[in-house]
Chain A
Amino acid sequence: MRKIRTVILSLLLPAAAAAQNYGAHMIPEELTKGVNAVIRQDITEYEYQNKKSATERHTLVVTVLNDNGDHAAAFFAYTDKTRSLKSFSGEIYDRTGAPLRKIKRSELKVTESSEGLADDMTVYYFTPNQPSYPYTVKYSYEVTQKDGITFFPSFIPLAGAGTSLEKASYTLSVPAGTRFHTRNVNTDIQPEKSVRGPQEVYVWSTGNLRPPATEPYGPGMREIIPIVYLTPHEFSYNGIEGVADTWENYARWQWKLMEGRQELPAPLKAEIARLTQNAASDIDKIRALYDYLAATTRYVSIQIGIGGLQPMSAEEVFNRRYGDCKGLSNYLRAMLAECGIPACYVEIGMHTKDIIPDYASPLLSNHAILAVPQATGGMLWIECTAPELPLGFIHSGIAGQHALVYKDGSAHIEKVPVLADSLHLSRIEGTLKVAADGTMSGHVAMTDACNRYEEMRPFSKKDARERANQLQKLLNLPLATISGISFTEQKSATPSCTTSFEVSAGKQAGATPGRIFLDNSPFRKAPGENPGRSKRKTDIVVRNGYRNTDSITIEFDESYQIEALPAPLLIRGKYGTFRQVVLPVGGKIVIERLFQLNTGKYPPSEYEAFKQFIETAQSGYASKIVLRKK
């Protein structure tokens, strides 16, 4: 009797184990070394029934190896007006893969919390909180979508920092003959196609991927993450039919959403006439209306249903005097049209997104601006959600991005221009006097232009105390205090602001009694990240190049003499320029320094050279001046 049972068990066991042994020991070693969690399975089955109906089935199995991997085991499901969570089940397993417990749907936490005023997103989430490692968690869930299928879920076979991936697959099944478009980014993975009854089935699969390297001066996630985008050829949302094979066709659909939303109420028309009556040129009119927009409206985000794609009408924005980027852009466009200036509505991607010129998908943009064609050629790009930025300034969020420019019922792609690195300038001019007793006093004027201006702009909103606190962080002078702060702005297409202040530093009593060790960059921290020392894996990417210049004079009491000055340094190459001269001139010390980091992308093999450039510059900034008591 006993024997037979053993036989039966041994027959059953291997099969069961092979089907789903989630024991941590089953993971190949190359996936666990230096890793916090492993995605064992990330399986998506997407069943597209028709333009108005689809089902997503997900199975996610994650093994967490230590505390730092917990985040990888968290469950999130996003739903909204068109998407709902149909089913959910989960289970937690111990290190050997033996089940510990089931996770019930009622254990999921739910929130509708939105960042802006309102959206229709509901998030379901769950975090397994396990006392010992490794453990494994498995989630199986189903999301159904009704209407608004403007894209299919993307296949993103990657798990993020510290997490490797054992196996990921994505199965798309569509009724035979359904057209769709795919685009691979950072991957060359191809699907296997088969026919299952009336369905065509495509399967993408991959696995054994180590975590992406996150390195200083490394590429952004957009340049690393493998993604397969999938977009239906035809789609429908709120009864409006569209085709998404090209941006031109996608734009025809978006155009329909915007149609009839530019009507302006009579009082606004009168106001526009009044505001522009004395304007001599188009640019004066644009400026008058931009200033009016800035003075009378504000950014408030409402994203509900198709409202996530369709701008609020000009009249609604007028009534509320607020809107999101789409609403405000459409509103200003309507106002400009009212005085005969054709402006183009523009869709654009910011931060992690950028439009791919030859692949249409609403997933690639997340912002709207305006573009006004200029008589001299080119465009005047207008950001409608940041009224504090001067008209014509191309801010860092849109510079260099691909823009989908709407015109005459369709759209075309243009690249937003980028300003030269040297224009993103921070210039410091300062003096520092060292008195006989070792106390110091000085004056600093710091001018920041373009992107540097954008970074410095929030300074103007701070009160006197917060301003002093912020400037205090720049200084490399112990015991220093700041006073007499002034801030002025020069608003133009290449704007700048000047911050000037007085510094005084108390006596560094008894530090090193016979000497003063002075930072040769008293008013600015050394720029750039620390390049680190690991062996380089990814490309070197400098996204936003810039320039710093410092002209500083140090005067010192005649009871001191110079003991040591930093040696002159000059490096000029493709990564940038660093030039530092510290010279005794007529009883003073004059410091002239320039650091420019060029925008660029270089292969990993150049990392030693790049690192040397950065480290030389950083050590230049950090070097000391030594004054000795005579």
Chain B
Amino acid sequence: MIRNLLLSAFVCVLSAGPLFAQDIRQKLGKPSNYEMQMTNYQADTSAAAVVLSQDTRIYYEVVLSEDNPFKLIHEYEVRIKVLKPEGVEAANIAIPYYEKMRAAEVVRVMSATAYNLEGSKVVATTLDRKDIFDEMVGENTRLKKFSIPGVRTGSVIEYSYVITSNISQNIHDVEIQGDYPVIRATGSLVIPKFFRYNVNTTGYHKLKVERKPADIRIPMEYEGAISGSAEMIDFSAENIPALKNEPWVWCPSDFRSMIIPEIAGLYIPGVVNENFSVSWTDVFRQLNESEAFGRNLKMPCPYAEEVKKLAAETEDQGDLVRGILKLVTSRVKWDKTFRLYSDNIKKAVRDGSGSSASVNFILHSALREAGFAVTPILLNPRSWGRMPYSRPMFNKINTFVLMVETSDGQVMVVDATDRDNDVNVIPPELMVDRARLYGEADESQGWINLSNPSASQVMSQIACELTGDGRLTAEVTTVYTNLEAMLIKKRYRNAASEEEFVEELERRNGIEIENYHLSDLEKKDVLATYSFRQKANGAGDFIYINASVIPFLSESVFKQQQRSMPVEFPYMQQYRIECQIKIPEGYAVEELPKNERLRLPDSGVMMQYTARKDAEGHIRCELIYVVGRMIYPVDEYPTLFELFGHIAAKCNANIVLKRI
């Protein structure tokens, strides 16, 4: 009890704001004695390095003589203490920046220095400018790279740089949380009143944000300057833990403490009134007016003849939607890029290859050609982060899928980025819980949950018997529906060969498979049949058979004892395994695994097991496993961890037969 009290007192101290802020310098320059002598960071003793301070200043300069009068400046100052040998990596800096024709950012490295204690003296080693490298990494992305010299365990390093940009609406996000813990982060954002803007903050660790009026200097055409009004957004945060990636998370950045500024419009009285995005209505209007979106929704179908033919041949509306989806995916293949816009659909049609936007605009045109009502559903891929509910943000809308309504009242979701997609079957990457129906102006209506467009199942039936030579032989039939069918098609196609696919199944389950057969992969659902042999386990008079014959989830999928991010399952799952075991001559049932149902609340993970002996001398057992909810918050993790332990224990249980 006393120990607990002490512990909670200790925890309080730890979380009580700045630990040693008075010893931490806020400015570049010679570090404090405390910083030089520091050997660990108390709040995270495993940290290889800690960010002592980071300061970000973002503001605009008005330059009247240029086309774009607003120059956007980002100034960064970072100071880091290296605490462990592997922490020297913190001195290898790579700054990404954007460059596309005239829209360009310029990075200037202002300083980079390492401070080391040599005897009682602090010695500074400074970066030589010729050791700054520049790399073009992709079409419009470059990297400025340097490694600060003289860095070792114990060094304090500092660097500062400025990114100047003529893309005035593209303010960089300020990432407060990163690979290393941060003792203090500060910064400010000064935005002239000409802009309409939003500033969002994200993450578990709350940031202090203050807004106050400010002035900016506007130079006059020939000489002098006047003041313009602006708003200053000051932010600060202290003792922010490192953000470590964890499995079972689609987009770790969703949990990162960040400031996300977004310029929503530009309004200079009498000169310009441009809205970038304020409400969904604005978003839709802009998209509608855009050549690369709105016009594509009206484009003629490039496969009109084929669609007409299909429509004539197909009676069922659902079948026709499927037929058109299959037609489009067979003609044009997704090029693995997610895009909201497409400025060259002709090329996509000609090359048979295009972005998510191109393939879905083509699908849109084909479905329209067949007379369906089709509406895009705007979304952000799951690994790119969630769309905020609060207000629309263009950088969180990066692709779309389609909603189709048939004349007989069916509503379906389709997407053309994968040839194994189907009606209401889209890849897990697009199964977001927040998507926005295009054109639905009502702010609160329009949201669509795509996380389970159709229930999918795996159902197995295993009939087995024990042979005289101590072997278990079984016949297995498994049905895969909807998404599960799509996933097995993918696994099958991605296997190096059919042999490899079957061998993998053998390895995973410790069985020897014969006559593996998968039904037609062009059909929506898939049927797999095979038989297998396995040596039965036994000792003396006993025979032990796994509770579900083929062990299912015999090891917990969760290996972490603790977590700091929620668990997000890839999709909702539903498994049902039914086994029928013929009791061999001369044996009787000694023990059966207990009938049991394990579950988490709110449609969380559920596992149910039943086994019984029937009148015909068979053991019949059934295992049901359902993931009916995708997200499990951090405080539910211990329960989830334990549940999977119990599931594994149950899956390792045995049916015991005894010789009579």
Contact = CB atoms under 8 A, between A and B. Distances in A.
Residue among A465, A476, A534, A624 with max Cβ neighbours from chain B (10 Å): A465
B538 to A, nearest CB: 8
Nearest to A297: B152
A434 B331 CA distance: 62
Nearest to A514: B591
B151 A131 contact: no
B591 A515 contact: yes
A595 interface: no
A320 B131 contact: yes
Nearest to B562: A465
A298 B152 contact: yes
Given A34-B497, A68-B494, A473-B559, A512 B654 contact: yes
A532 B497 CA distance: 14
Contact of A131 (B332, B494, B559, B561): B332
A482 interface: yes
Contacts of B85: 294, 387-388
B642 A506 contact: yes
B81 to A, nearest CB: 16
B281 to A, nearest CB: 36
A316 to B, nearest CB: 10
Contacts of B352: 100, 129-132
Interface string A523-564: 000000010111000000000000000000000000000011
Dominant secondary structure of chain A at its interface with chain B: loop
A479 interface: yes
Contacts of B540: 563-564
Contact of B150 (A321, A479, A506, A510): A321
Interface stretch (A16-24, A44-52, A111-119, A345-353): A111-119
Interface in B135-149: 135-139, 143, 145-147, 149
A67 to B, nearest CB: 5
Nearest to A467: B46
A601 interface: no
B537 A298 contact: no
Contacts of A118: 133, 135, 145
B561 A515 contact: no
A512 B86 contact: no
Contacts of A298: 88, 91, 151-152
A465 B244 CA distance: 11
B654 A517 contact: yes
A493 B33 CA distance: 38
A461 B48 contact: yes
B543 to A, nearest CB: 11
A463 interface: yes
Contacts of B645: 478-480, 506
B152 A295 contact: yes
A479 B46 contact: no
A463 B46 contact: yes
B135 A101 contact: no
Contact of A479 (B331, B592, B649): B649
B646 A479 contact: yes
Interface residues of A, number: 69
A68 B151 CA distance: 45
A484 interface: no
B329 interface: yes
B145 A563 contact: no
B136 A112 contact: yes
A320 B544 contact: no
Given A321-B149, A478-B652, A514-B591, A469 B493 contact: no
A517 B646 contact: no
Contacts of B74: none
Interface string A61-100: 0000011100000000000000000000000000000001
Interface string B540-562: 10101001000000011001111
A472 B648 CA distance: 14
B576 interface: no
Nearest to A388: B85
B46 A112 contact: no
Given A114-B135, A512-B591, A469 B559 contact: yes
Interface string A341-382: 000000000000000000000000000000000000000000
Contacts of A576: none
Contacts of A506: 642, 645
Nearest to B495: A68
B351 interface: yes
Given A321-B150, A469-B561, A479-B646, A129 B496 contact: no
B451 to A, nearest CB: 27
Interface in A179-207: none
A370 to B, nearest CB: 20
Contact of B591 (A319, A462, A513, A532): A513
Given A161-B496, A321-B151, A461-B86, A534 B146 contact: no
B539 A296 contact: no
Contacts of B333: 129-131
A472 B642 contact: no
A114 B135 CA distance: 8
B33 to A, nearest CB: 21
B255 to A, nearest CB: 16
A154 interface: no
B507 interface: yes
Given A101-B350, A563-B540, A563-B542, 14 more contacts: A34-B497, A67-B494, A129-B335, A461-B48, A468-B561, A478-B648, A479-B645, A479-B646, A506-B642, A512-B591, A515-B654, A517-B654, A565-B539, A626-B542
13 contacts: A110-B136, A129-B352, A298-B151, A319-B149, A320-B147, A322-B149, A322-B151, A463-B45, A472-B561, A480-B645, A510-B594, A530-B507, A534-B503
Interface of A: 34, 36, 66-68, 100-101, 109-114, 117-118, 128-132, 161-162, 294-298, 300, 319-322, 387-388, 461-466, 468-469, 472-473, 476, 478-482, 506, 508-515, 517, 530, 532-534, 563-565, 624, 626
Q: Which 5 pairs, one residue from A and one from B, show the smallest C-beta to C-beta distance?
A: A463-B46, A564-B539, A479-B645, A129-B353, A508-B649
